[in-house]
Structure 1
Amino acid sequence: MAVNTVIIVTHNAEAVLGRCLAALAAQTAPSVVVALIDSGSEDAGYVQAYSQQPGFIVRCTDNIGFSQANNLGWQMVRQEAELVLFLNPDAFPASESLERACAFLAANPAVGCVGGRLLGFDAASGQPTGLLDSTGVFTKWYGRWYDRDQGQPDSGQHREQEDVPAVCGAFLLARRTALEQVALPGDAVFDPAFFLYKEDIELCLRLRQAGWKIVYLPEVVAHHCRGWQNDRKAMPVQMRLIAAKNELLLYRRHPSPYILWALLKYAAVRCLQI
């Protein structure tokens, strides 16, 4: 079984898209179709440049949000795709990652989606940070979701395959039949109410509720930029507000006592801009 489609949503991602596509071109997996969905870049010419190249599907829209743009990509390719890789434009998979992830899904029909070992990458310097970005997504005992090992030195921890509650949407390989089973009205894979952030967790929760397993594969490796993670104040207030709102929405969709803290955080960002 091969990856049939990679969906990449772009928004002012010119600085990183070339590296991402070069990483895809270097994959040992069979050839894939890449669906580029631009969601409101100030100048989408860098995406439109691929529209005449073989193996690419390009669609440019207004800024409809990350979830809705991924849904648009899904709706464009789902009839032909057996497996779909949702990939951030600032994520750069190692050359054997797709082949390994595909082989695992082919051998494990009860698994709905897989994620890999994400390593930090500094887009400004063009170099790995030496820190981990995610080894799966988990919850604290009190309900808060977090990327395990984010910002920690890579000392070889969590090198074993394991079932996990969720995986990071920067590299999320899913089975079409699983996505079809949990799709929302309007053939939406990601909940369109999540404009940006937390949409990957919400999808994983629906997959698990439908009986699918979600697996972290440490042999599947990708570098991932996450520019604001070490300095939240550098993140624009509007983006912090979206993140806080979506966190609150997640705990409403999938109840958790952490919703009380999420409500306080949303109020603090909205009223105090902190």
Structure 2
Amino acid sequence: MKKVTIQIVTYNSEKDIIKCINSINQQTYRNIEVIVIDNNSTDKTVELLLNKYSNITLIINNKNLGFCKGHNIGFREGKGDYVIILNPDVILDKHFVEQVVKAMEGNPDVGLISGKILRMEQNLITTNIIDSTGIVMARNRRAYDRGQGEEDKGQYDEKNIIFGVCGAAAVYRRKMLEDVKIDNEYFDENFFAYKEDVDLSWRAKLFGWKCLYVPSAVAYHKRGWKESSRKEIPLFLRIHSIKNRYLTIVKNDNIISYLKDLPFILAFDIGIFVYCLFKEPKTLKYILCTIKLLPDTIKKREQIKIKTKRLKKFKNF
């Protein structure tokens, strides 16, 4: 039986973390190790974990390293053949791990899996409203969660290949993670948080890995804020979200494809700029942040190109 690592990055997650870990402990699949990486929580998250669970590995950071660096620590620590990353506000159906392992075992070219993620209310009441059935990439390079906000009526009940997986509950093959890491980073640590799941999914695709949607693997996500409540998101995270759109494109996009879709991309980017200018002028800092990180991002793009060229030569040998 293959080992599965489930890792969670926490930051002031005392309201959610116990329910999350309890759902892991109730899984029908038994060969699971749990790693929690705490980003210097100031609430009772660490105290609760230390007092309640002896079967987890708890890594305590002395400052908030961000979602990306936190999970990279977990990726290096874990021993599982498959890795599941969870937000602390996610609860798994008891068959989730069993279903994704079965899908991985039957599809060796699949490196990433998304289950059916449904919404959960703040009071932990589960719903049939879809949170994500995988990530879709539009021609304007906007990445979004397929089906988000729709009532689940069985419209996404077929397995199929998708672009990417949502980082709230993502499943990765260890071999894929080792294959696609750049500068010993699985998630790009320049991202800090947001769109790192899009970046990794895109990079995996470039390396020839497939991403599979498995509807029988069900999870429930509380989500810290709603789509209509953008201003509830801290300013620095909104800046990261916009900045990371451009870093993702620079690292992974194909020049020919980009030029072909340029009218759609420009229209969307102009919309972002105008919105920030008039509605959230402080977020215009994303421009400076993006420019500052461009040299390092271009270097990473070159490494991706070199590695994928070698891969193609090997496959054609």
TM-score by length of 2: 0.79
Asked which structure has the greater RCO (Cα within 8 Å, sep 6+), the reply is 1
Q: In the alignment, which residue of structure 2 is the partner of 1:2?
A: 2
Match of 2:242 among 221, 235, 244: 244
Larger radius of gyration: 2
1:39-50 residue pairs with structure 2 within 5 A? 39-43=39-43, 45-50=44-49
SS in 1 for 2:148: coil
Q: Which moved more, 1:134-143 or 1:175-184?
A: 134-143
Closer, same or farther: CA 144–99 of 1 in aligned 2, 3 Å: same
1:232 to 230, 233, 236: 230
Q: 1:119: which partner in 2?
A: 118
* 1:183-230 deviation line (CA, Å, top 9, x unaligned): 111x21111111111001111111111111110001110001222323
1:203 aligns with 2:212: no
Deviates more, 1:53-62 or 1:230-239: 230-239
Deviations along 1:69-105, one digit per CA (max 9) or x if unpaired, are 000111112xx22111111111111000100101111
- Asked if the contact 2:33–2:80 (Cα under 8 Å) also holds between the matched residues in 1, the reply is no
Give 1:91's aligned residue. Answer: 90
TM-score, scaled to structure 1: 0.91
Structure 1 residue 69 corresponds to structure 2 residue 67: no
- Is it true that 1:23 corresponds to 2:23 in the alignment? yes
Matches within 5 A, 1:92-111: 92-111=91-110
- 1:55 is aligned to 55
Counterparts of 2:135 and 2:84, CA distance in 1: 18
AA aligned opposite 1:30: R
Deviation at residue 33 of structure 1 after TM alignment: 1.1
Equivalenced residue count is 269
> Offset at 1:259?
5.2
RMSD, aligned CA: 2.0
1:269 — aligned with what? Answer: 276
Structure with the larger helix share: 2
Q: CA deviation at 1:140?
A: 2.0
SS of residue matched to 1:5: strand
Report the counterpart of residue 188 of structure 1 in structure 2: 185
- Asked whether the 8 Å contact 2:14–2:48 carries over to 1, the reply is no
4+ residue stretches of structure 1 with deviation over 4 A? none
- Supply the distance in 2 between the matched residues of 1:248 and 1:117 (Cα, whole angstroms): 28
Q: Percent identity?
A: 32
Instruction: Point out the structure with the larger strand share.
Output: 1
Aligned mates of 1:160, 1:147 — CA distance in 2 = 16
Which stretches in structure 1 are left out of the alignment for 5+ residues?
A: none
Q: How does 1:117-156 map to 2 (within 5 A)?
A: 117-123=116-122, 125-156=123-154
